[in-house]
Amino acid sequence: MGDDRERSLHPQSPIPYTRLVIAFKSAAEIEAAIPSVVLHLVRQGLIAYPTETVYGLGSAVNNEAVSKLSDLKGREPGKPFLLLVSDLAMLKSVRLRLPDKADRLATAFWPGPLTLVLPGGEGVMPDAVRGPEGGIAVRWTSHEGIARLIRTLGSPITSTSANRPRQPPAVDGASVQHDFAEAESTGELMILDAGTLTPSQPSTLVDCTGSRPRVIRHGAIAPERLRTIVPALEG
């Protein structure tokens, strides 16, 4: 978990807190980090982490953790967070449904930079992750370290780009440390540092809650490629 750890006592808790920016690049680093990261998430802590596109901010999927994430991000009311999963079975565990066309897109492009807005999750998912159209945005991440983390946790994590409002998403760990230094220093935020990520477009976002899937954000997977699987795709 790195040699530059600073041991301190969290000012709001009697539990000894380890202030960490954790190396999260090599397979050995990821394996060593995961137990501490899972414990931090279970305790309603927040994480900053690499994805297949940019660095993200996330949490466990419950009202308390999502509220903390919203405060850290400075999220405007009504703008939901998406979810990351590590396999299709995890969708069923949180009662999200894959309509036929969404299932075809997921089979063709997951894991990878395709985010699908899906129906379902009633009574399981907090309102803060549900969009105005009624669905929940979800992606099976292709970042193996984060997928492994999610598998170990046993449930999805939330995701939003790691940046302050009106600033570009972070593509390196140093930028995350700079922008969210206060949250890290207080023990609220754990930063998983994988160095500088390969430049990439954000994930393509497709709303699958209606009768015809619709592209609502262009990104890493072009609509033309998606239409080879679902010709009726709009947008």
Domain ranges for the chain, please list them.
6-227
Query: pLDDT tens across 198-225, in order?
Result: 988 899 999 999 999 999 999 999 999 9
Q: Which two tokens stand for residue 163?
A: 């940046």
The whole-number pLDDT of residue 9 equals: 35
pTM: 0.89
Please report which confidence band the pLDDT of residue 138 belongs to, taking 50, 70 and 90 as the band edges: very high
- Mean residue pLDDT of the chain comes to 90
- 167 class by beta-carbon count within 10 Å (0-12 exposed, 13-18 middle, 19+ buried): exposed
Please check the confidence at residue 125 and state whether its pLDDT lies above 80: yes
Superfamily of the domain at 6-227: DHBP synthase (3.90.870.10)
**Length of the chain, please?**
235
Taking CA 149 as the corner, what is the angle to CA 95 and CA 195, rounded to the nearest 5 degrees?
A: 130
